[in-house]
C-alpha cells in the first residue's frame, strides 16, 4: 500500500512536491497527513524547493527521501507537531469528542509539554481551562490540577467528565445503561415544551430566528423531558449531547465567531436532530462504557474567573499550563450563546452582559469607554505603548486600542493575583498567538513577556509552534512562551 502527501512551496511561482510513503512508513504518513504545507515546511525547517534540492543533493537522497528524513528527524527530536497545538489532534479522542471546541489544543501537546519540561510531583494550575484538556492530560501524568473557566457550559462539561472518569469501571457500566435508557425515555414521549426556556429565548434573543420553528419546538420538548430525569449526572450528560448539536441544527455556524449560515450553507449544512443527536448520544455512551481510564489525581475548579485567582484559597502551585484567549476578537460567551441559553444560564439580556463583562476582554464588543483607566498599563511596557500609539492614529474604530489595553491589563490582573500562589521557580507555559488589526501587527507574545517580567516571571524561551495567515495575508504565529517565576 502506498500513501501520498503533497506539499506546496512558494518561490516566485508555486511548486509542489508529492511524497510517497510505503507500508513501513505509515506512522510517519499519519503524523503528517493532517498537516498543511505551511505546517510541514515549518516542521522540516525548509521553505523552498530549491533549499530542499540542495540538501537532498548533498546528502545523496531523492527530494521525497530528504523531506521524509527531515520530518521524521524533527518528530524524533520531540518537536511538537503543529497539528497537536490545535484541537484537531484530539478531536476524535474519547471524552474530547463530546463537545468539539476549535479554540482548544490537544492532550498530546499538553503531555509533551509536561514531559519536556520535567513537570512532576507538583500542583498544576490552568487559568483558562476550556474543555479541560490540560486537566485530563495532567491526570494521565499523575498530576493534580486546579483550574478556572468562566464559561458555565465548559465548567459543566469538565465536571461531568471528571465525575464519569472518577467512577470505578463497574459503576460506569451502570451509568452508561442509565444514560441510554434515559435518552430512550426522553425520545419515546416528547410532549410538552419547556415554556421557561421559550420565554428566555425571547428575552435574550428577541425576534432573532436561529432555528426552524419545528426544530425549536423539538429542542424545547427535549429540555422539558431532560429536566424530568432524576439522576443529576444523567441529566448533565443528556444536556451535553444536546448542547453539542445545537449549532449544527441551527441557522448559525461557528467559523472563528458565530455567524449566520449563508443561503448555500443552509441548504446543505443545517442538520436534522434525528440524524445528529443519536450519533452524539452513542459517542458519549461508548466512551462511558469502553474508555477504561480512571482518574488518579485530584482536580478542582478554584475560581471560575481567572481574574479573581488572587482571592482563591490555594498555594504551592508548581506549574501553569494554559492557552489564554487570543487578542483576536473572538467572544467566547457569544460563541456559545445557544448552549448557554439551553442550559438555563441566559434568562435575560443582562445575563449575557454579566458573563461578557467577566471574560477576559479579547473582542471588540466586550469593551466599554468606561474602561479607559486600562491605558495606564502602557507605562509598564514600551512595546505596548508604541503599538497603542500606532493603533490610536490608524485604527478605524476607537475601541481597538481600548480592547488591546484591556486585554493586557486583565492578563496582568490574572498573573499578579497568581504570583502569591506560586512556588518559587514555578514553570509557566503559555500557548499564545499574535494578532493584526488595521494592518498593525500586535506582538501579543512579546508584549506579554515584557509585562510579566515586571512581576518576577523570567523568560526561558519563546518558541514558534506554527504559523498561519491572517485575512490580509500577513503571517501570524502561535508561540509557546516558557517562563520561570522567581519570588521577589
Ligand atoms: C483558548 S480557550 C482554552 C481552550 C483549552 N485550552 C482547551 O483545550 O479546551 C480560552 C478559554 O478561556 C476562557 N476564559 C475567558 N475569560 C476567562 C476568565 N476571565 N477566567 C477564566 N476563563 C476565561 C474561555 O471561556 C475559553 O474557554
CA distance 211 to 206: 13
- The region of weakest confidence among 3-7, 74-78, 297-301 is 74-78
Cβ of 161 less than 6 Å from ligand 1: no
Return the best residue to mutate from 326, 332, 357, 415 for the ligand 1 pocket (most ligand atoms within 8 A of CB).
Answer: 332
Position 210 confidence tier, pLDDT thresholds 50, 70, 90: very high
Cβ of 9 less than 6 Å from ligand 1: no
CA atoms within 13 A of residue 87's CA, in its CB half-sphere: 16
For the segment 121-147, the average pLDDT, to the nearest whole number, is 97
Position 135 confidence tier, pLDDT thresholds 50, 70, 90: very high
pLDDT over 90 (residue 3)? no
- The region of weakest confidence among 36-50, 126-140, 310-324 is 36-50
CB burial of 205-220 (b: ≥16 within 10 Å; e: otherwise) equals beeeebbeeebbebbb
Return the best residue to mutate from 150, 157, 413 for the ligand 1 pocket (most ligand atoms within 8 A of CB).
Answer: 150
pLDDT over 80 (residue 230)? yes
For the segment 315-341, the average pLDDT, to the nearest whole number, is 92
CA distance 170 to 168: 6
For the segment 437-456, the average pLDDT, to the nearest whole number, is 95
Q: Are strands 252-255 and 123-126 parallel, antiparallel or unpaired?
A: unpaired
Q: Which atom of ligand 1 is nearest to the CA of 326?
A: 1
Cβ of 457 less than 6 Å from ligand 1: no
CA distance 116 to 319: 13
Per the model's pLDDT, the better-predicted residue between 111 and 474 turns out to be 111
Cβ of 103 less than 6 Å from ligand 1: yes
CB burial of 84-104 (b: ≥16 within 10 Å; e: otherwise) equals bbbbbbbeebbbbbbbbbebb
Distance 329 CA to ligand 1 centre (A): 14
Give the pLDDT score at 75: 82
Cβ of 330 less than 6 Å from ligand 1: no
Position 201 confidence tier, pLDDT thresholds 50, 70, 90: very high
Cβ of 130 less than 6 Å from ligand 1: yes
pLDDT for 68-126, tens place per residue?
Answer: 999 988 887 766 666 666 656 667 788 989 998 877 788 889 999 999 999 999 999 99
Mapping DSSP onto H, E and C, the string for the chain reads: CCEEEEEEEEECEEEEEEEEECHHHHHHHHHHHCCCHHHHHHHHCCCCHHHHHHHHHHCCCCHHHHHHHHHHHHHHCCCCCHHHHCHHHHCCCCCHHHCCCCCCCCHHHHHHHHHHCCCCCCEEEECCCCCCHHHHHHHHCCCCEEECCCCHHHHHHHHHHHHHHHCCHHHHHHHHHHHHHHHHHHHHCCCCCCHHHHHHHHHHHCCCCCCCHHHHHHHHHHHHHHHHCCCHHHHHHHHHHHHHHHCCCCCEEEECEEEECCHHHHHHHCCCHHHHHHHHHHHHHHHHHHCCCCCCCCEEECCCCHHHHHHCCCCCEEEEEECCCCCCCCCCCHHHHHHHHHCCCCCCHHHHHHHHHHCCCCCHHHCCHHHHHHHHHHHHCHHHHHHHHHHHHHCCCCHHHHHHHHHHHHHHHHHHHHHCCEEEEEEEEEEEECEEECCEEECHHHHHHHHHHCCCEEEEEEEEEEEEECCCCCEEEEEEEEEEECCC
Q: Are strands 3-11 and 13-21 parallel, antiparallel or unpaired?
A: antiparallel
For the segment 350-357, the average pLDDT, to the nearest whole number, is 88
Give the pLDDT score at 370: 67
- The region of weakest confidence among 333-342, 380-389, 390-399 is 390-399
Give the pLDDT score at 78: 60
Cβ of 90 less than 6 Å from ligand 1: no
Please tell me which of 19-23, 28-32, 107-111, 228-232 the model is most confident about, judged by mean pLDDT: 228-232
Domain locations in the chain as residue ranges: 3-79, 168-290, 363-488
For the segment 437-462, the average pLDDT, to the nearest whole number, is 96
Here the cell at position 49 is 524547493
Cβ of 407 less than 6 Å from ligand 1: no
Per the model's pLDDT, the better-predicted residue between 77 and 416 turns out to be 416
Sorted by sequence, the CB contacts under 8 Å of residue 125 that are 6+ apart come out as 145, 146, 147, 148, 309, 314, 317, 319, 320, 418, 421
For the segment 179-191, the average pLDDT, to the nearest whole number, is 94
Mean of the per-residue pLDDT values of the chain: 91
Cβ of 305 less than 6 Å from ligand 1: yes
For the segment 460-485, the average pLDDT, to the nearest whole number, is 88
Distance 478 CA to ligand 1 centre (A): 16
Percent of the chain at pLDDT exceeding 70: 96
Q: What residue has cell string 520531540? A: 78
Residue owning the nearest CA to atom 7 of ligand 1: 104
Residue owning the nearest CA to atom 27 of ligand 1: 130
Cβ of 359 less than 6 Å from ligand 1: yes
Terminal-residue alpha carbon distance, the chain: 60
Residue owning the nearest CA to atom 13 of ligand 1: 128
- The region of weakest confidence among 33-47, 154-168, 440-454 is 33-47
- The residues facing 124 across adjacent strands are 145, 319
Give the pLDDT score at 15: 83
Here the cell at position 158 is 469538565
Give the pLDDT score at 79: 62
206 sits in the region (left: phi over 0; alpha: psi -120 to 50; else beta) called left
Give the pLDDT score at 188: 92
pLDDT for 245-281, tens place per residue?
Answer: 999 999 999 987 899 999 999 999 999 999 999 999 9
CA distance 137 to 119: 12
pLDDT over 60 (residue 413)? yes
Give the pLDDT score at 369: 67
Neighbour-count burial of 457, counting CB atoms closer than 10 A to its CB (0-12 exposed, 13-18 middle, 19+ buried): buried
For the segment 124-151, the average pLDDT, to the nearest whole number, is 97
Cβ of 287 less than 6 Å from ligand 1: no
Residue owning the nearest CA to atom 6 of ligand 1: 104
Give the pLDDT score at 402: 93
Cβ of 360 less than 6 Å from ligand 1: yes
Position 48 confidence tier, pLDDT thresholds 50, 70, 90: confident
Return the best residue to mutate from 149, 358, 363, 366 for the ligand 1 pocket (most ligand atoms within 8 A of CB).
Answer: 149
pLDDT over 90 (residue 2)? no
Residue owning the nearest CA to atom 26 of ligand 1: 130
pLDDT over 60 (residue 12)? no
CA distance 295 to 136: 8
Cβ of 104 less than 6 Å from ligand 1: yes
Percent of the chain at pLDDT exceeding 90: 68
pTM: 0.85
pLDDT over 70 (residue 412)? yes
Cβ of 223 less than 6 Å from ligand 1: no
pLDDT over 90 (residue 10)? no
439 sits in the region (left: phi over 0; alpha: psi -120 to 50; else beta) called left
Which is nearest to 173 in space by CA: 34, 317, 289, 12? 289
pLDDT over 80 (residue 298)? yes
Amino acid at each position: 500500500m502506498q500513501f501520498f502527501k503533497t506539499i506546496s512551496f512558494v518561490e516566485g511561482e508555486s511548486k509542489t512536491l508529492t511524497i510517497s510513503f510505503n507500508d513501513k512508513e505509515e506512522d510517519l504518513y499519519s503524523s503528517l497527513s493532517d498537516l498543511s504545507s505551511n505546517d510541514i515546511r515549518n516542521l522540516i525547517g525548509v521553505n523552498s524547493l530549491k533549499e530542499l534540492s540542495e540538501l537532498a543533493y548533498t546528502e545523496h537522497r531523492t527530494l521525497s527521501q530528504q523531506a521524509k528524513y527531515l520530518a521524521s528527524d524533527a518528530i524524533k527530536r520531540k518537536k511538537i507537531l503543529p497539528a497537536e497545538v490545535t484541537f484537531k489532534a484530539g478531536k476524535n479522542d474519547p471524552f474530547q469528542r463530546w463537545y468539539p471546541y476549535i479554540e482548544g489544543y490537544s492532550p498530546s501537546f499538553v503531555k509533551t509539554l509536561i514531559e519536556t519540561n520535567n513537570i512532576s510531583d507538583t500542583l498544576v494550575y490552568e487559568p483558562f481551562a476550556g474543555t479541560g484538556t490540560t486537566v485530563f492530560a495532567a491526570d494521565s501524568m499523575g498530576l493534580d490540577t486546579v483550574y478556572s473557566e468562566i464559561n458555565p457550559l465548559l465548567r459543566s462539561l469538565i465536571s461531568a467528565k471528571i465525575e464519569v472518569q472518577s467512577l470505578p469501571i463497574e459503576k460506569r457500566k451502570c451509568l452508561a445503561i442509565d444514560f441510554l435508557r434515559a435518552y430512550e425515555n426522553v425520545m419515546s414521549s416528547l410532549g410538552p415544551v419547556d415554556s421557561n426556556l421559550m420565554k428566555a429565548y425571547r428575552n435574550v434573543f428577541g425576534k432573532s430566528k436561529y432555528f426552524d420553528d419545528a426544530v425549536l419546538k423539538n429542542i424545547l420538548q427535549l429540555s422539558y423531558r431532560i429536566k424530568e430525569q432524576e439522576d443529576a449526572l444523567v441529566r448533565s450528560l443528556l444536556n451535553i449531547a444536546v448542547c453539542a448539536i445545537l449549532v449544527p441544527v441551527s441557522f448559525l455556524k461557528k467559523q472563528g465567531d458565530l455567524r449566520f449560515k449563508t443561503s448555500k450553507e443552509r441548504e446543505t449544512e443545517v442538520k436534522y436532530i434525528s440524524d445528529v443527536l443519536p450519533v452524539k448520544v452513542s459517542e458519549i455512551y461508548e466512551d462511558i462504557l469502553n474508555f477504561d481510564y480512571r482518574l488518579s489525581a485530584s482536580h478542582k475548579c478554584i475560581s471560575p474567573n481567572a481574574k479573581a485567582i488572587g482571592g482563591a484559597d490555594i498555594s504551592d502551585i508548581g506549574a501553569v499550563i494554559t492557552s489564554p484567549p487570543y487578542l483576536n476578537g473572538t467572544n467566547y460567551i457569544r460563541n456559545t450563546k445557544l448552549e448557554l441559553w439551553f442550559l438555563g444560564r441566559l434568562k435575560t439580556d443582562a445575563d449575557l452582559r454579566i458573563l461578557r463583562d467577566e471574560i477576559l476582554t479579547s473582542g471588540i464588543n466586550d469593551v466599554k469607554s468606561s474602561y479607559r483607566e486600562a491605558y495606564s498599563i502602557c507605562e509598564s511596557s514600551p512595546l505596548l505603548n508604541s503599538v497603542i500609539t500606532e493603533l490610536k492614529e490608524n485604527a478605524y474604530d476607537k475601541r481597538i486600542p481600548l480592547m488591546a489595553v484591556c486585554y493586557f491589563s486583565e492578563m496582568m490582573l490574572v498573573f499578579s493575583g497568581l504570583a502569591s500562589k506560586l512556588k518559587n521557580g514555578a514553570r509557566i507555559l503559555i500557548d499564545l498567538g499574535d494578532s493584526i488589526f488595521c494592518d498593525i501587527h500586535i506582538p501579543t507574545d512579546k508584549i506579554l513577556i515584557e509585562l510579566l517580567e515586571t512581576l518576577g516571571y523570567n523568560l526561558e524561551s519563546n518558541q514558534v509552534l506554527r504559523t498561519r495567515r491572517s485575512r490580509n495575508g500577513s503571517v501570524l504565529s502561535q508561540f509557546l512562551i516558557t517562563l520561570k517565576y522567581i519570588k521577589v
